[in-house]
Structure 1
Amino acid sequence: MTSETARDRQPPLDERLEELWAEAARDGRRLPGEPALAAALSSSRPAVREALIRLEERGYIHRRKGADTTVNASLLDIPARFDRRVEESALIRAMGQTPQLDVLDVQRTRITLDEAEAYDLRPGTEVLRVHKRWTADGVPALLAHDSVPITGAVDPETIDPEQPMVDIAVTLAGARAEWEVVWPTATALDEADAAHASRPAGEPVLTLEVSGMSPTRGVCYWTTEHHLSGAFRYAMVRRADWR
């Protein structure tokens, strides 16, 4: 095996850098400088520098010129970050529980006039709607009402509805979301969702209205997620230097 082939088989640089961060955070030490990191990761200094910038933007580290990089060890105790997209089953596993996905309903319909206006889509556009439920150790934890516009030539009947919504969108909408716009609110479960959640109707839940945006600002998908009370404990990391 050539060195180039071995490098290609390595995890992405960001993942390997996060592993070094986790080791440093658990050991209570700082990350070394860029030259040492580049050598340890078999990467170039410019690539490591860019990866460190991304890590700092996400709150994992803090860098100062002429000093070692300090690590935010508190992130070790955060299984779910509100500001990052994590696949639902992976999120449940990160909390030490066993996930199960149930597809409750699949429909092929046309968008409503309100949806056409909200997402700048042509009235009458077909959309695949998938209603899903995730359980954690057999207990309902999250409900999602996913909607993906059908703008390509692929037959939606061939789609596996258990796929992540972002992958379904690549197939049906022909674009991958680069960003998500998330609107959190507190709502109450209606009778149908309450039945699927094994919770009483009217119970308050954290609801996220999410739309996935492509690089051209087109909407790839939208979803309503109901995060059931007591199932997840979210955190958001932000800088506190008050500049």
Structure 2
Amino acid sequence: MSGASSRVVAILEVLSGPDGGELTAQEVVDRAGLPVSTGYRILTELQDLGLVHRGAGRRILANFSFERRLHCPGFDPKELADACADLSECLTSAAEIVVLSGHNMLWHIVQQHPKQAIRLRAYPGFTRGAYELDSISRLALAHRSFEVLEKSWDTGAFYTPGVDRRSLDWAEAREMIAAVDPDDMQYDMMGNAKGTRRYCVAIHGSDGKMVCLLTVAEAATPLREEAQHVANVRAHLMARKSKIESAFSDPAQTG
């Protein structure tokens, strides 16, 4: 990324952060780590384009939405696309990269196989609330502390996946999340209300924090050799998880 582009992105990320709308121009520039003249010039250009305006107390208000879906310096996102393509081909299923964005699950990559038994309605950029405690929500929320969940989430809004949707009280939801092993695969054999069964693993960066979820999605139809099928999917997902995470610790592997 050019120096000019990186400076604009720095401003956009500050304005889209948790304190967006509460900062003066000087505070925005300071947090972006830019020289005063450069920061003010970028803010003026954004204002001329109608992307920001000044509110009460001369606070800078953003008129746009900007979010980095994946943030892991030194990692090549192409590794994730390759993983999805390989999984889809090997398992004749869809493979996805999903991230937790606020209180939503956001689909970043969707690789569908032409011969898979079900077509997904999810697409890159598709979002869905994380309050449905299916495999992907449970695994994502297992990476959040209960202190954060109890402070920032509506703990009475969780519900079970599938066609027999049932509201969960916080004690039930908390127990389901606590039962998740963040390093293992999660899945819902019965699938969701749309007839899709998802298996997923969490991809962790070198700091141990979750970067995204890697999933395999298939039709939630009965399986003749269920245990063998689940073991096969787990083997493929865990192998890809290991390969991707090893690239975080050894950037040379990303090429």
Q: Using structure 2 for the length normalisation, give the TM-score.
A: 0.26
Structure with the bigger percentage of strand: 1
Q: Which has the higher helix share?
A: 2
